Structure 1
Amino acid sequence: MNWQLITEQQRFNELLPIWASAKTLALDTEFMRVNTFNPQVALIQLKHQNTIYLIDPTACDTVAWGLGEVLANPNALKIVHACSEDIEVLFHTYPKAKINHIFDTQIALAFLGYGLQVGYQKALKDLLDIDISKAETRSDWLARPLSEEQLQYAASDVEHLPALYDLVVEGLNAKGLLTYCQEDSALMLTEAATVPILTTLYQQFSNAWQLNRRQLSLLHTLTMWRDTSARLNNIPRTFVLKNHTLMAIVQQMPQTLAQLARVEDLHPKTYQKHGSLLLEMIRVAQHKPEAKCPPLLPLPLPKAAKSLFNLLRQQSEHIAQHYGIPADVLLRKRWLDALVLNYIDEGEQCALPLALQGWRYEVLTQPLLQTLSKQAAQLAEWRSYRHRLFN
């Protein structure tokens, strides 16, 4: 295995034009995400032709000298495997770079029937009869110097990606699925680059529909404060408030520091540093006019809706069989949930999940929408139920 560790700025600068003119690059990263809000990139692996480059971003200024632009080169194919976290790391490290032209071999393997989340090690063993070690997966990648074992491990993560790519592309072409796979790789990039809307974070709590409007106001305030505080201090959100602790504060609305201290899993540091602020947020929410509070969130669908979901899943499975696409690749549960809820709430012109646009629209989404249109009376009844429009 021919690899080079790049720790000197001059050497990095010399190699940059070579990578910038490449037509194909195998790509991976090593990063740490333990005690920080954002992942910390520790190593970037590139394979160009027959050489593997292990780039140390703690030793080289890769931002100012344009590695992001290399990754954004639309003329260079970047081959990756299971790269959603790697892409998040790269988007954070190179926020101005529009990373594109990614091909994820894990997505390709899913189209070929190997399952949604086949690992790189298993893929190499099953398809190429190659064994690689994963012993260094959980090691400290920010420690310096990196051990020989870590460097060998990092190099092995990109060494066989081009061969795996060639094999899966051959299989996809044989099934006529290559363009679908390419679209899904691009979709993964789009989803990874999507930043959650801060003002709607509170709606992601699964039991928020049970709260009254003043509780929702407090939940909204607390989630925004937690997110902002975590970002400013570069710590995980849960280091500020765990989800169940945040919800307990919302439900109980403690009035004193003593009551606040008894909330489950409230970290002593958070209580000591922010106790008075938390009580003030509670006081403001309790005294806010209801008309200025967020509206009640829609109720979950009644149990009777299960039959509709079963019908749509069966329809999707028939379509998947017709096109030779694994059913779990064609349609995921979260996409179907979003489609049905949006259709119930918004009608025929409802917003579609990104995944149900693109190639899936004609293949899958249109038939599902036609089925939903035939359930108009039932869906109108459920719409009234969800939005509490009771007689």
Structure 2
Amino acid sequence: MKMITTTAELAKACDALLQCDFIAVDTEFMRETVYWPALCLIQAAGGETEVIIDPLADGIDLEPFWEVMADDRVMKVFHAARQDLEIFFHLGEHLIPTPMFDTQVGAMALGLGDSIAYDGLVRSFLKRSIDKGPRFTDWSRRPLSQKQLDYAIADVTHLRDLYPIMRERLETKKRDAWLAEEMAILTRAETYRLEPEDAWKRLKLRKTHPKWVAGLRAAASWREREAQTRDMPRQRVMKDDALYEIAGVAPVKPDDLAGLRGVPKGFERSKPAERLYEVMKTAMADPEAYAPKVEKPAPPPSGIGPTVELLKVYLKLVAEEAGVASRLIATVPDLEKIAADDKADIPAMHGWRREVFGEPALRLKKGEISLALEDGKVVAKDLKG
């Protein structure tokens, strides 16, 4: 297996991939010391075509590959696609490969667990084992060994063989529509758009007072821009705990930062600190307007604990009967919201989830469905049937 290192070689390989009904895709990347994942390798397999692309090769233009990813005639198959899609969205000018099939999500729909690992999936469906030795090597170093190249291409050749089997099983179980709903969510551009002004949403709101929330939003947006501009992890720019301290004092000059335990000594007179002061001045000019509208969550209604526990039992029963991972249907917070509100706006109350679980869960709340033990097993009985 030889790596593709020129645009001409890549264009020829991509022409072959475009003749396939589907292609399996995977990447190798590094992100420990950067904000944007550093793409080190791209692997693709479709039909008889198997390629490894070196995106670090001098002068290579990835445009032919982006064109394949954008071609809606070719199904793109990934496993646990989220990070791959994040990379493509950033490097491919907001490109999201469509149509797409994620085998990890497909495995959940087939009842193979909440987040089955790739090697477990390959072992389950193809009866093959994967050598995971090279998994944590430095993919940015060149030259790559033959062992690394063999490992990399195996990721997509197994995936290529997995897809038809999984697709057939999903269609047999009439779950292909379920997967389509999940792929629609996974391929939303909003999932991968990293707007600095929304960075506060990643943090836990310890207070809901507008001035404090405005300070946190300003500090988080400043950190996000710094991380993006300097291409370094957020936590290396400033720790989360320090952002909470900064939100509390809303610094607009060096003296305001002096003495904060989470802020590195000397930072208050640095260029990044100057940029923080400017963002904070804007926020504090009108904190009521700058702060996002947040409300302190209302405590759950008293007495819903038993209802939540009943819903947990029912969810497990439904998931086992349907042969699908329970987490794909609903989470514990979802159950708490269903217990508190029949009109809860959550995924479990929309689409296929509502049909499989949400609507019956409401009937359980109303006493139209009961749970009972028969021969040591929990069963659901329709009292209105």
Q: TM-score, normalised by structure 1?
A: 0.79
Q: Which residue of 2 aligns with 1:212?
A: 209
Partner Cα distance (2:366, 2:224) in 1: 40
TM superposition shift of 1:102: 1.4
Partner Cα distance (2:72, 2:279) in 1: 48
- The answer as to 2:353 corresponding to 1:360 is yes
Partner Cα distance (1:178, 1:280) in 2: 51
Partner Cα distance (1:183, 1:113) in 2: 17
Percent identity reads 26
Matching residue within 9, 14, 17 for 1:16:
14
- Tell me the number of residue pairs that the alignment of Structure 1 and Structure 2 aligns: 363
Q: How does 1:42-53 map to 2 (within 5 A)?
A: 42-53=40-51
TM superposition shift of 1:335: 5.3
Opposite residue 300 of structure 1, the aligned amino acid is P
Change (3 A) 1:293 1:96: closer
Q: Indicate if the aligned counterparts of 2:16 and 2:49 stay in contact, CA closer than 8 A.
A: no
Change (3 A) 1:140 1:265: farther
- The answer as to 2:217 corresponding to 1:231 is no
SS at match of 2:134: coil
TM superposition shift of 1:70: 0.4
Q: Which residue of 1 aligns with 2:64?
A: 66
Q: Which residue of 1 aligns with 2:218?
A: 221
Partner Cα distance (1:255, 1:198) in 2: 19
TM superposition shift of 1:55: 0.7
- Name stretches of at least 5 consecutive residues in structure 2 with no aligned partner: 368-385
Q: Indicate if the aligned counterparts of 2:258 and 2:268 stay in contact, CA closer than 8 A.
A: yes
Matching residue within 37, 40, 43 for 1:39:
37
SS at match of 2:129: coil
Q: Which residue of 2 aligns with 1:79?
A: 77
Q: Indicate if the aligned counterparts of 2:112 and 2:324 stay in contact, CA closer than 8 A.
A: no
Q: How does 1:264-283 map to 2 (within 5 A)?
A: 264-268=261-265, 270-273=267-270, 274-278=272-276
Q: Deviations over 1:327-359 (max 9, x none)?
A: 22212346557x669x97xx95x7554x75443
CA RMSD of aligned residues (A): 3.4
Partner Cα distance (1:269, 1:154) in 2: 45
- Name stretches of at least 5 consecutive residues in structure 1 with no aligned partner: 375-391
Q: Indicate if the aligned counterparts of 2:80 and 2:103 stay in contact, CA closer than 8 A.
A: yes
Matching residue within 80, 99, 103 for 2:101:
103
Q: Which residue of 2 aligns with 1:131?
A: 129
Change (3 A) 1:330 1:61: same
TM superposition shift of 1:54: 0.2
Change (3 A) 1:356 1:141: farther
Matching residue within 89, 92, 95 for 2:90:
92
Q: Indicate if the aligned counterparts of 1:100 and 1:186 stay in contact, CA closer than 8 A.
A: no
TM superposition shift of 1:236: 1.8
TM superposition shift of 1:142: 1.5
Matching residue within 249, 257, 265 for 1:260:
257
Q: Which residue of 1 aligns with 2:381?
A: none
Larger deviation: 94-103 or 113-122?
94-103
SS at match of 2:156: helix
Q: Indicate if the aligned counterparts of 2:211 and 2:288 stay in contact, CA closer than 8 A.
A: no
Larger deviation: 45-54 or 246-255?
246-255
Q: Which residue of 1 aligns with 2:371?
A: none
Opposite residue 328 of structure 2, the aligned amino acid is V
Opposite residue 356 of structure 2, the aligned amino acid is V
Q: Which residue of 2 aligns with 1:332?
A: 331
Q: Which residue of 2 aligns with 1:168?
A: 166
SS at match of 2:132: coil
Partner Cα distance (2:17, 2:98) in 1: 15
Q: Which residue of 1 aligns with 2:182?
A: 184
TM superposition shift of 1:280: 6.3
Q: Deviations over 1:349-382 (max 9, x none)?
A: x7554x75443344344555778999xxxxxxxx
SS at match of 1:116: coil
Partner Cα distance (1:317, 1:298) in 2: 32
Opposite residue 156 of structure 1, the aligned amino acid is A
Q: Which residue of 2 aligns with 1:378?
A: none
TM superposition shift of 1:50: 2.9
Structure with more of its chain in helix, by fraction = 1
Q: How does 1:197-208 map to 2 (within 5 A)?
A: 197-208=195-206
SS at match of 1:137: helix
Partner Cα distance (1:372, 1:203) in 2: 33
Q: Indicate if the aligned counterparts of 1:25 and 1:76 stay in contact, CA closer than 8 A.
A: yes
Partner Cα distance (1:360, 1:372) in 2: 17
Matching residue within 202, 219, 237 for 1:240:
237
Q: Which residue of 1 aligns with 2:299?
A: 302
TM superposition shift of 1:313: 3.9
